[in-house]
Amino acid sequence: MSDLTVDPQQYVINKEPYYEEVNTEISLYEAAYGVRMPMMLKGPTGCGKSRFVEYMAWKLKKPLITVACNEDMTASDLVGRFLLDKDGTKWQDGPLTTAARIGAICYLDEVVEARQDTTVVIHPLTDHRRTLPLDKKGELVEAHPDFQLVISYNPGYQSLMKDLKQSTKQRFGGLDFDYPEEELEVSIVSKEAGIDVETAGKLVQIAHRARNLKGHGLDEGISTRLLVYAAQLIGSGVDAEVACSMTMVTPLTDDPDMRDTLNAAVQTFFG
């Protein structure tokens, strides 16, 4: 009945992803994986959550299946559905079901975006049952012993309307993520983009100024991801001021005063 036509190997990460440990998250995650504890990674956008999951999947030598969640997503998008083909109907596993069958780490990115009736399908997988009922198909999938569920969560966007139910939250262990401290972030930006430490240092300084504006006109500070973007453009020969504007000002805000403030910070270091 169950179609294990999926080759787990296709989800295995063969090359070590570049990841700098910020705290002790690697060993803590290993311990959590050891007991197959579902994990929740919290932190602002672009601070390294996805990279961390990729790194851990590689380190633990487990396949990784990532699902980007959104509010239009239905439970069927996660668990699967019947499809029509020339021979009639055929069941197609969704990514969560595939992960449970093959023993993958299943990473539900931005899970808060999904509707609550979608989120509850993970409940039986995240307690002692470790099962996934495929109601439409009439099958109860028992999760492979290696299966683990990981979700990400950006506390910045959290509103009363969009939050996880306590009964969902309390099925996970949590790890807090944030932008790395200065020296480490400089090293990440420089390594990731292949630019000199001095230039990376200036970018991080600009980010620090912008991060102070969070809540004072900016919803989010400049992420590590945007710093890497800026550094990549500079590395490929784009004028530093232009590169910073493109990556660290324009995407962040439309407010003219705020743009002036950010551009002034860029000027201070690259003007």
Ligand X SMILES: Nc1ncnc2c1ncn2[C@@H]1O[C@H](COP(=O)(O)OP(=O)(O)OP(=O)(O)O)[C@@H](O)[C@H]1O
Q: Can you give the binding site for ligand X, defined by CB under 6 A? A: 18-20, 22, 43, 45-51, 109, 152, 154, 180, 188, 192, 224-225, 228
Q: Which is nearer to Mg ion, 50 or 263 (CB)?
A: 50
Question: How far is the C-alpha of 132 from the C-alpha of 106, rounded, in Å?
Answer: 13
Q: How far is the CB of 43 from ligand X (least distance, A)?
A: 6
CA 169 from centroid of its chain's CA atoms: 17
Tell me the C-alpha distance between 246 and 268, whole Å: 17
Three-state DSSP at 221 gives: coil
Whether 37 and 175 have beta carbons less than 8 Å apart is answered as no
Give me the least distance between CB of 59 and Mg ion, in Å please: 18
225 binds, among ligand X, Mg ion, none (CB under 5 to 8 A by kind): ligand X
Nearer to ligand X, 141 or 222 (CB): 222
Q: Which is nearer to ligand X, 20 or 163 (CB)?
A: 20
Question: What span, in angstroms and rounded, lies between the C-alpha atoms of 36 and 46?
Answer: 26
Q: Which of ligand X, Mg ion, none does 38 bind, CB closer than 5 to 8 A by kind?
A: none
DSSP 251: T
Tell me the residue nearest to ligand X as measured from the CB. 48
Residues that bind Mg ion (CB under 5 A): 50
**CA distance linking residue 102 with residue 200, whole number of Å:** 41
Between CA 223 and CA 173 the distance in angstroms is 25
Give whichever of 12 and 26 is closer to ligand X, judged by the CB atom.
26
Q: Provide the minimum distance between the beta carbon of 206 and ligand X in the complex, in angstroms, as a whole number.
A: 16
C-alpha span between 51 and 204 (Å, rounded): 19
The per-type count for the chain, helices as H runs and strands as E runs, is 11, 9
Q: How far is the CB of 4 from ligand X (least distance, A)?
A: 30
Q: Which lies closer to ligand X via its Cβ, residue 45 or residue 205?
A: 45
| Partner interacting with residue 146 (select from Mg ion, ligand X, none; CB below 5-8 Å by kind) | none
| Closest separation in Å from C-beta 136 to ligand X | 31
Rounded to the nearest whole angstrom, what is the least distance from the CB of residue 14 to Mg ion in the complex? Answer: 21
Residue 180: name its binding partner from ligand X, Mg ion, none (Cβ under 5 to 8 Å by kind). Answer: ligand X
**Residue among 50 and 92 whose Cβ is closer to ligand X:** 50
Question: For residues 1 and 182, what is the distance between their CA atoms, to the nearest angstrom?
Answer: 54
Partner from Mg ion, ligand X, none binding residue 77, C-beta < 5-8 Å depending on class = none
Strands 131-134 and 139-142, sheet pairing: antiparallel
Residue type, 204: V
